[in-house]
Structure 1
């Protein structure tokens, strides 16, 4: 498909010098990370990590969803995750509009009613982060030995600020 030729060409160049084969897939640094899908976030570099050091789960807003919890349970039992960070970020779109405003934008873009699609907006980012961290801490399948914390990543400075 011509629509993806640039990416396939880049992949071939990547594969020409690929040296990551044979890796067992465990988190070498023992890190599990839930963060936003925002392209301003470079999850490994922001924590000083390298390929293979962490298990990363991304979604809009960096929320601890059921799918994120599934990833954290598997990571903590099967993939060497010993520390979990939940990291939303400043200037997040999910914290900037109401669900109605998102639907109005989507309705305009798609030309159809989008209210059937849930949009999980965040009205209080710090409260949501603390709630998400408690969801992980209190999950019966996350071992008590796993360290869990919540941070807000500042997309303008690159700094993490612990909030939970």
Structure 2
């Protein structure tokens, strides 16, 4: 029976033919973790010259240091070889383009269901939110001085990273 995933499974079979990470222990070989947005214009490994196996990549709307993201960073720093953490937001991000209320109205309209109960985490002041997230990660008792933490803004039109914090 045909599936809407058939094309992706076909590409996966081709990928598996040259798969080179079997037996890999999951430690970040370059000692890097990156928190970034789920935006499809972002190639997290490519933008910093790394390849699969080098870094832990955590993605969410807006690239924020959420509670669950902090859990992943704690694991990365304490068990998986992470020594540097990059918090990367980007230009022209939907999460920073409208207010929480406006985004919720857009979702409600698109879904045809009231979404006002949802907490999206819209970003009102992007550079300030990067600074705040860097502080949040640096001050976590299970991360603290165990890793260097930097905040960055990625320009989706030039491919360049700017260090903000």
Q: What TM-score comes out, normalization by structure 2 length?
A: 0.96
- Determine the structure 2 residue equivalent to 1:29: 30
Aligned-pair CA distance for 1:145? 3.5
Q: Does 1:40 align with 2:50?
A: no
Residues 1-164 of structure 1: pairs in structure 2 closer than 5 A: 2-164=3-165
In structure 2, the gaps of 5 or more residues are none
For the Cα contact (< 8 Å) 1:76–1:143, is it kept in 2? no
Structure 2 distance, partners of 1:143, 1:79, is 16
**Deviation of 1:110 (Å):** 1.1
Q: Given the two structures, how large is their TM-score scaled by the length of structure 1?
A: 0.97
Shift of the alpha carbon at 1:86? 0.3
Q: Secondary structure at the match of 1:3?
A: coil
Runs (4 or more) in structure 1 with deviation over 3 Å come to: none
Offset from partner CA, 1:33-75 (integer Å, 9 cap, x none): 1100001100001011111000110000000000110011000
How many Å apart are 1:99 and its aligned residue?
Answer: 1.4
CA distance in structure 2 between the partners assigned to 1:90 and 1:106 by the alignment: 21
Unaligned runs of 5+ in 1: none
Mapped to 1, the partners of 2:81 and 2:75 lie a distance apart of: 9
Determine helix, strand or coil for the equivalent of 1:2: coil
Shift of residue 28, structure 1, vs aligned partner: 0.2
The whole-number CA distance in structure 1 between the counterparts of 2:67 and 2:19 is: 34
Q: Is the 8 A contact 2:77 2:146 kept in 1?
A: no
Change (3 A) 1:121 1:51: same
> Contact 1:27 / 1:54 at 8 angstroms: preserved in 2?
yes
Cα offset for 1:100?
Answer: 1.5
Secondary structure of 2:25 counterpart = coil
Aligned to 2:65, the other structure's residue is in SS state coil
Report the Cα distance in structure 1 between the residues aligned to 2:164 and 2:50, rounded to whole angstroms: 21
Paired residue secondary structure (2:4): helix
Counterpart Cα distance in 2 of 1:105 and 1:80? 41
